[in-house]
A and B are shown apart, each in its own frame.
Chain A
Amino acid sequence: MNSLGTAAPRKILSALFVAACALSVALALVPLAFIMFFVVSQGIQSLNLDFFLHDPRPVGEPGGGMRNAIVGTLMLTGLAAAIAVPIGVVSGIYLSEYRGTRFASAVRFAADTLNGVPSIVIGVFAYGVAVLPFKHFSMLAGGLALGIMMIPLIARTTEELLLLVPNALREGALALGATRAKAVLTVLVPAALPGIITGVVLALARVAGETAPLLFTSFGNPFFSTSLTQPVSSITVQVFSYAISPYEDWHRQAWAGALVLVTIVLICSVAARMATARVARIRGGQ
């Protein structure tokens, strides 16, 4: 064995490792590719204008769509955002401003725990507080369940992003005679805003795909409804009930619903990233 030959085992090991990495990436992407392929190819066949403009028809009657479920999902996530954004952002401000305190540590731990609670458990909780007392399912209960899921996501994102804002900006504001609250609201939060918006949109995208917490809160509704106090349909629950049904026509509609949901989530994510990039460009002055 000469001195030049000793590198060979090392090179082989390196090549093997790179190959293993590449294989893992491919394996991870295969399911995603299949999902996208099936959702798009199956969903696109049943997707037409009627799908967006009509409510479900009884079995056997051709046509019909998911207008009620699409509007329902949009309203449920909007309601969830209305509940979670104020609470989440203000909690995030608290966590970053009082990060050293014991109470803040407790809040942070609680938020992380809440984030790890299975969504069905949150659904049960919303059922207990917003369905049982009123004796019927409602959009409000569904929005509450989704909102509870969003709060820890938004709070932690807000906290992390506020901590990234340079302390020099806070000092600059204080030195001009700003109170602590003014400095936070007029300088720190605006500086972190692009990131906070991205966090909110990603949290929305996440809860828009939830089914479990809606099963016994907003429940589902074959008819179009925008009432807060009535059960309401959502894309996820509609897809679920259509997919387990024995009807071929409903299966096709379920695929179309899945495609619409994936598209909504994708549009949200892309829009959030574009908005962030744009704001960052303006801030950076390029």
Chain B
Amino acid sequence: MNRPLVAVPRPPATSTPQQQEGQLKIDVDHLSFYYGAKRALEDISIKIQPNVVTAFIGPSGCGKSTFLRTLNRMNDIIPGARVEGRVCIDGADVYGQRVDVVALRRKVGMVFQKSNPFPKSVFENVAYGLRINKMASSRSELTGRVEESLKQAAIWEEVKDRLHESALAMSGGQQQRLCIARALAVRPDILLMDEPASALDPIATQRIEELIYGLKKSYTIVIVTHNMQQAARVSDHTAFFWLGRLVEYGRTEKIFTAPSEKLTEDYLTGRFG
């Protein structure tokens, strides 16, 4: 009933998420995830191409954050967590026996819901990943990489004169962009964002969204969001999760205008969730 009157043309077949097997960035195959005996994710399969922004939407507790965290194995630190199925990034199974989790997390960066700058200076926050991974061989290289990352995160102009002040003195929006700069500094391929703007005001949110749009050129971005308008604005593809299952996945325009599943439509039109 709530579908738009004008039929939206189907996008060309080659750009649907299910296509382009050859250059998949993330390929999840029949993934289930358990917290102890409780199954939080059920048989999820999804293929994500490079340089695409994918939004995960769904009601609270639907498993979208849990799923995001299986991609860089952040769930490993939860006692009793267990994974079934396969998650491949650039063709390699991240849950494979010989995988170096540290290298994986360097490749798959993450930005959290609540900005979590370390209680250190702005500079030291961005330099942290470079230092622990020994990614800068000289002081000038380190400084250069920090500056580059802050510029990429569109925060350089605001912090260039206060690099050595505490990161905690900045506003919430600035802290979140600093956390993005910190994640970018180690040059990941993929950026996972777990509701990065949910604690921010509309203006700060807009800046983050513009940033995501700009970062798409160099990174594959997966963003979890509660805000459906945000998903519609920033993403190319949208995946709708419900009760630990992936209900629908497709081009954002299609999901928002002509969803195939009744459940998706009901959620998007506010019947539940």
Spell out A's residues near B (CB within 8 Å).
Answer: 100, 166, 168-179, 182, 186-187, 190-191, 282-286
Contacts and interface: CB of A to CB of B under 8 A. Distances in A.
A175 B183 contact: yes
Given A172-B118, A176-B106, A285 B182 contact: no
A173 B128 contact: yes
Given A177-B103, A191-B118, A282 B166 contact: yes
A2 to B, nearest CB: 56
Contacts of A168: 112, 114, 116
Determine which residue in B128, B165, B182, B183 has the highest number of CB atoms from chain A within 10 A of its CB, and name it: B128
Given A100-B79, A179-B102, A182-B132, A172 B168 contact: no
A150 B72 CA distance: 41
Interface string B91-130: 0000000000011011001101010111110000000110
B166 A174 contact: no
Nearest to B165: A285
Contact of B169 (A166, A172, A176, A286): A286
Interface in B153-168: 165-168
Best-buried of A177, A178, A191, A283 by chain B (most CB within 10 Å): A177
Contacts of B167: 285
Contact of A175 (B79, B105, B131): B105
Contacts of A174: 74, 77, 105
A264 B120 CA distance: 32
B53 interface: no
Contacts of B74: 171, 174-175
Nearest to A187: B118
Given A168-B116, A175-B105, A187-B118, A283 B168 contact: yes
Contacts of A177: 102-103, 105-106, 129, 132-133, 186
A190 B110 CA distance: 22
Nearest to A186: B132
11 contacts: A172-B112, A173-B118, A177-B106, A186-B132, A187-B128, A190-B120, A191-B118, A191-B119, A283-B166, A283-B168, A285-B170
B118 A284 contact: no
Contacts of A172: 112, 116-118, 179, 182
A74 to B, nearest CB: 32
Interface string B130-143: 01110000000000
Which of B105, B116, B182 is packed against the most chain A CB atoms within 10 Å? Answer: B116
B119 A176 contact: no
Contacts of B129: 176-177
B118 A169 contact: yes
Nearest to B72: A175
Given A168-B114, A169-B118, A171-B112, A176 B183 contact: yes
Contacts of B133: 176-177
A182 B101 CA distance: 14
A177 B169 CA distance: 25
Nearest to B79: A100
B169 A175 contact: no
Nearest to A179: B102
Contacts of B169: 284-286
Contacts of B182: 172, 176
A282 B72 CA distance: 33
Contacts of A285: 165-170
B102 A178 contact: yes
